[in-house]
C-alpha cells in the first residue's frame, strides 16, 4: 500500500470518527475532507470540486425545483391526502403506505427523483396527521433504496450489467432482479414496521410538526374569531343583489367585512371587491350585524358561525403579521392606507396589549408591535415576505400558492420522469430540463427555487466526492479487495458472494454506489472465473451489495436528502440501518441460493 493510500485511509477513518461523534456538522466534515485532500495534492484541483457538478448533485438540484413546483401548485398536498386516506390516520399504516409508494416509484425511476417527488408530499402528510417527520422520512428513503434493488433501472445494477456485456457475458434483463428483489422489499418493509419503527426518533425540527389545520385553529382561538363570525343570506328583494362588493358598498352599508360566500353549494373565500353578490348567496361576514340594518338591506341572519374552517380552504388561509418598528403607516388606520386594496388581504383582528381588537378595525390607528390576523390567498400572504412594513410571523406551510397550474406542473413532471426512466438521456440532464421549464413558465420563480434547495445535502455530497476519487485513484480500494479475495482460498461460492457483498457495503459508505460498482464489477467477474462461479450470479451479488446504503447518510444521496428535514443524526442511520443491512444481506444470500444455484 502506497503512502498516499495510507494517508487517504487515515482521512477516511478520521472523518468517520468525527461523523460518529457528531461534534461537527456532517456537511462541515465533508467540506473539511475536501479541503484536506485538495491541499495534500492527492486529488487535482479539478477533482476537488468535481462533486459540485456531479450527476447526483445536479439531479438533486433539479428535482428540488420540480418538487417545489409540485408543492406550490398543490399536487403534493393532494398526494399527501391520498396517502393519508390509505393510511387511515395510523402511524404504522402511514409508514407502510410511504414505504410501498416509494418502493413502487423507484422501480421505474431514479431513486433521487422518487424521493424528490414524495418528500414534500410526506411532509404534508406529517403535518396533516400530526406525525413527526422523523417517523416517516427514513422509511421514505429506505423504501426507495429497497425498491431500487428489485429493478435493473438502478444505476449500480446498470453498471454491473454493462460490465457483463463488455466481458462477453449475457447482460441482465429488466426482470432479472425482480425474483430476489421482491423478498428484499418484503423483509425491509416488515423490519421498518416493527423493530425499525421502534428505533425511529421523535424529532420535529424547526417546528415542522405544526400542521396547517392546527395553525389555523390556534390563530382563530387566539384572536377569538368565534365571537364575530356570521353567515347571512341575500334575499331576492335585496338592493345589494346583482351588485359587486365594492359597488354595493357592503362595508359602509352593513358595517360587516365579507370573508367568503357560498353559491350553489360551492364556497369561495376572500372574494375580491369586483365579486358580484346574487340573491340566494350565503355570505360569511365578520362584525356585529344589526337586525334593523339587515332587514332594510334584504339580508337575513342564518346562524352564528363558530368554526374558522368556514373562512379558509386549501388556497385561502390565515396568517399572523406584526407591524415593524419602521413602518411608514404607524399611527394610520387600515382605511387610510387602503390595506385591503394594497395587500388583497382581510384584517380579521388586531392583537394589542394582550387583547384582540375586533370592533371598528378599519378606523383603528396601527401601532408598532400590533399583530394582525389576516385572511387571504396563500400567494398574497407569500408576497409579504418582501414587505418592509410588516413581519410575517406565521403562514400555512400547506397552503396552495398557485392552484390553477397543477395540471401543467404534473404534466411536466410526468414527462420529465418518463423520459428519465427510459435511459435515453442522462437523468441529471432530463431532470434539470424539467426544472428549467418550470422556471421559464414561472410556475417556480428563481427565489422560490433557491429557497427550496436542500443546500446541506449539496455540500455533503460534493464535499465527500473527492474522498471517493482518492480511494479509487490511490489504489486503496483495489488493495483492500485483492487482499481480501486472495486470503479466501477454496471456499463455497456463497461465501465468496458474501465477502463481495460485504466489501460492496463497506465501499458504498465512503463512495457512492455507482463508484463502488465501477470498482467491484471487474473484480467480481475475476472472482467468478477464479472460483468457477456463475458470473451473472456474482454480478447480482455485487450490484445488490452496492445498494446496501442504509447504515450511514453517505451510502446514498436519498439518505442525505431526508437528513435535514427529518432531524436525523449519524447515529440514527447506524442504529436503524445496521440491523436492516444484516437482514437484507441474509436475504440476498438466500436469493442467490434459490434463484442462482450458489
More confident position, 63 or 215: 63
CA distance 478 to 489: 18
Residues 12 and 142 occupy one common structural domain: yes
Strands 355-357 and 299-304, by their bridges, are unpaired
The model's pLDDT over 96-138, given as tens digits with 9 standing for 90+, comes to 999 999 998 887 666 877 787 788 788 878 877 778 889 999 9
Element (H, E) at 268: strand 266-269
Residues 191 and 259 occupy one common structural domain: no
Q: Tell me if 441 is assigned to some domain.
A: no
CB 588 within 8 A of CB 550: no
Q: What are phi and psi of 314, to 5 degrees?
A: -70, -25
The runs of H, that is alpha helices, within 280-399 are 291-296, 339-343, 378-382
Whole domain around residue 264: which residue ranges? 222-397
CA distance 529 to 55: 33
Percent of the chain residues topping a pLDDT of 90: 19
Residues 299 and 176 occupy one common structural domain: no
Q: What are phi and psi of 381, to 5 degrees?
A: -70, -40
More confident position, 75 or 548: 548
**DSSP 3-state assignment of 434?**
helix
Per-residue pLDDT at 180 exceeds 70: yes
**Mean of pLDDT values over 370-379:** 82
Among 350, 377, 397, the domain-final residue is 397
Residues 183 and 258 occupy one common structural domain: no
Residues 375 and 287 occupy one common structural domain: yes
CA distance 129 to 137: 14
Residues 486 and 343 occupy one common structural domain: no
**DSSP 3-state assignment of 376?**
strand
Among 380, 397, 414, the domain-final residue is 397
Residues 237 and 318 occupy one common structural domain: yes
Q: Tell me if 435 is assigned to some domain.
A: no
Q: What pLDDT is recorded for position 219?
A: 60
The model's pLDDT over 482-506, given as tens digits with 9 standing for 90+, comes to 676 666 667 788 988 998 899 889 8
Q: Nearest 5°: CA angle at 565, between 313 and 441?
A: 60
Q: Tell me if 231 is assigned to some domain.
A: yes
Tell me how long the chain is: 598
Q: Tell me if 430 is assigned to some domain.
A: no
Q: Tell me if 198 is assigned to some domain.
A: yes
- What is the total count of domains within the chain? 2
Per-residue pLDDT at 211 exceeds 50: no
The pLDDT mean for the chain works out to 82
Residues 388 and 249 occupy one common structural domain: yes
Q: Which of 510, 511, 503, 508 is nearest to 485 (CA)?
A: 503
Which position has the grid cell 425511476? 109
What CATH number should be reported for the domain holding residue 372?
3.30.70.1450
Residues 185 and 41 occupy one common structural domain: yes
Q: Tell me if 191 is assigned to some domain.
A: yes
Residues 193 and 269 occupy one common structural domain: no
Among 365, 397, 429, the domain-final residue is 397
CB 116 within 8 A of CB 430: no
Lookup: cell for 555: 451510502
More confident position, 24 or 200: 200
Residues 183 and 273 occupy one common structural domain: no
Q: Tell me if 368 is assigned to some domain.
A: yes
Q: What pLDDT is recorded for position 217?
A: 58
Q: How confident is the model at residue 518 (pLDDT cuts 50, 70, 90)?
A: low
User: Concatenated DSSP letters for 44-106?
Assistant: -HHHHTGGGGSHHHHHHHHHHHHHHHHHHTTHHHHHHHHHHHHHTT-HHHHHHHHHHHHHHHH
Lookup: cell for 575: 442504529
Q: Tell me if 212 is assigned to some domain.
A: no
**Mean of pLDDT values over 179-191:** 95
SS3 content of the chain, % helix, strand, coil (to 5): 60, 10, 30
CA distance 78 to 315: 12
Residues 203 and 227 occupy one common structural domain: no
Amino acid at each position: 500500500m502506497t503512502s498516499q493510500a495510507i494517508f487517504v485511509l487515515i482521512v477516511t477513518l478520521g472523518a468517520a470518527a468525527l461523523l460518529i461523534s457528531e461534534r461537527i456538522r456532517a456537511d462541515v466534515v465533508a467540506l473539511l475532507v475536501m479541503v484536506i485532500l485538495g491541499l495534500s495534492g492527492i486529488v487535482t484541483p479539478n477533482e476537488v470540486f468535481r462533486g459540485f457538478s456531479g450527476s447526483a448533485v445536479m439531479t438533486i438540484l433539479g428535482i428540488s425545483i420540480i418538487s417545489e413546483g409540485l408543492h406550490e401548485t398543490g399536487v403534493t398536498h393532494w398526494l399527501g391526502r391520498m396517502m393519508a386516506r390509505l393510511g387511515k390516520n395510523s402511524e404504522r399504516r402511514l409508514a407502510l403506505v410511504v414505504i410501498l409508494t416509494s418502493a413502487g416509484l423507484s422501480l421505474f425511476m431514479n431513486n433521487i427523483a422518487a424521493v424528490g417527488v414524495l418528500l414534500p408530499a410526506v411532509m404534508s402528510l406529517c403535518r396533516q396527521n400530526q406525525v413527526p417527520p422523523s417517523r416517516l422520512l427514513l422509511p421514505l428513503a429506505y423504501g426507495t433504496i429497497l425498491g431500487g434493488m428489485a429493478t435493473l433501472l438502478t444505476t449500480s445494477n446498470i453498471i454491473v450489467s454493462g460490465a457483463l456485456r463488455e466481458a462477453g457475458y449475457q447482460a441482465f434483463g429488466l426482470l432479472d432482479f425482480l425474483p430476489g428483489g421482491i423478498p428484499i422489499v418484503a423483509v425491509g418493509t416488515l423490519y421498518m414496521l416493527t423493530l425499525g419503527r421502534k428505533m425511529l426518533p421523535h424529532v420535529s425540527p424547526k417546528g415542522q410538526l405544526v400542521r396547517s389545520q392546527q395553525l389555523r385553529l390556534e390563530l382563530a382561538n387566539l384572536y377569538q374569531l368565534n365571537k364575530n363570525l356570521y353567515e347571512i343570506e341575500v334575499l331576492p328583494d335585496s338592493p345589494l343583489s346583482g351588485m359587486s362588493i365594492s359597488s354595493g358598498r357592503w362595508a359602509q352599508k352593513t358595517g360587516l367585512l365579507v370573508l367568503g360566500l357560498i353559491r350553489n353549494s360551492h364556497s369561495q373565500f376572500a372574494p375580491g371587491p369586483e365579486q358580484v353578490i346574487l340573491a340566494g348567496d350565503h355570505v360569511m361576514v365578520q362584525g356585529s350585524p344589526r337586525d334593523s340594518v339587515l332587514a332594510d338591506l334584504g339580508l337575513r341572519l342564518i346562524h352564528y358561525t363558530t368554526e374558522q374552517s368556514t373562512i379558509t380552504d386549501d388556497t385561502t388561509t390565515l396568517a399572523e403579521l406584526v407591524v415593524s418598528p419602521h413602518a411608514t403607516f404607524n399611527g394610520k388606520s387600515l382605511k387610510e392606507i387602503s390595506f385591503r386594496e394594497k395587500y388583497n388581504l382581510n384584517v380579521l383582528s388586531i392583537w394589542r396589549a394582550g387583547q384582540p381588537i375586533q370592533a371598528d378595525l378599519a378606523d383603528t390607528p396601527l401601532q408598532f408591535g400590533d399583530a394582525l390576523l389576516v385572511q387571504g390567498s396563500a400567494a398574497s400572504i407569500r408576497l409579504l415576505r418582501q414587505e418592509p412594513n410588516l413581519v410575517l410571523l406565521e403562514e400555512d406551510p400547506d397552503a396552495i400558492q398557485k392552484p390553477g397550474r397543477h395540471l401543467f406542473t404534473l404534466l411536466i413532471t410526468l414527462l420529465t420522469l418518463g423520459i428519465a426512466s427510459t435511459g435515453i438521456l442522462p437523468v441529471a440532464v432530463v431532470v434539470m430540463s424539467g426544472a428549467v421549464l418550470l422556471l421559464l413558465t414561472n410556475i417556480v420563480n428563481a427565489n422560490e427555487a433557491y429557497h427550496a434547495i436542500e443546500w446541506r445535502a449539496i455540500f455533503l455530497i460534493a464535499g465527500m466526492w473527492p474522498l471517493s476519487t482518492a480511494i479509487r485513484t490511490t489504489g486503496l480500494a483495489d488493495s483492500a479487495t485483492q487482499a481480501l479475495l486472495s486470503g479466501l482460498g477454496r471456499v463455497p461460492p456463497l461465501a465468496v458472494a458474501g465477502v463481495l457483498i460485504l466489501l460492496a457495503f463497506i465501499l458504498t459508505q465512503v463512495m457512492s454506489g455507482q463508484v463502488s460498482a465501477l470498482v467491484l464489477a471487474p473484480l467480481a467477474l475475476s472472482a467468478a472465473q477464479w472460483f468457477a462461479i456463475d458470473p451473472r450470479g456474482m454480478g447480482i451479488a455485487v450490484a445488490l451489495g452496492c445498494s446496501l446504503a442504509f447504515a450511514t447518510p453517505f451510502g446514498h444521496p436519498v439518505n442525505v436528502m431526508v437528513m435535514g428535514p427529518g432531524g436525523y443524526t449519524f447515529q440514527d442511520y447506524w442504529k436503524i440501518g445496521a440491523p436492516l443491512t444484516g437482514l437484507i444481506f441474509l436475504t440476498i444470500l438466500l436469493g442467490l441460493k434459490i434463484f442462482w444455484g450458489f
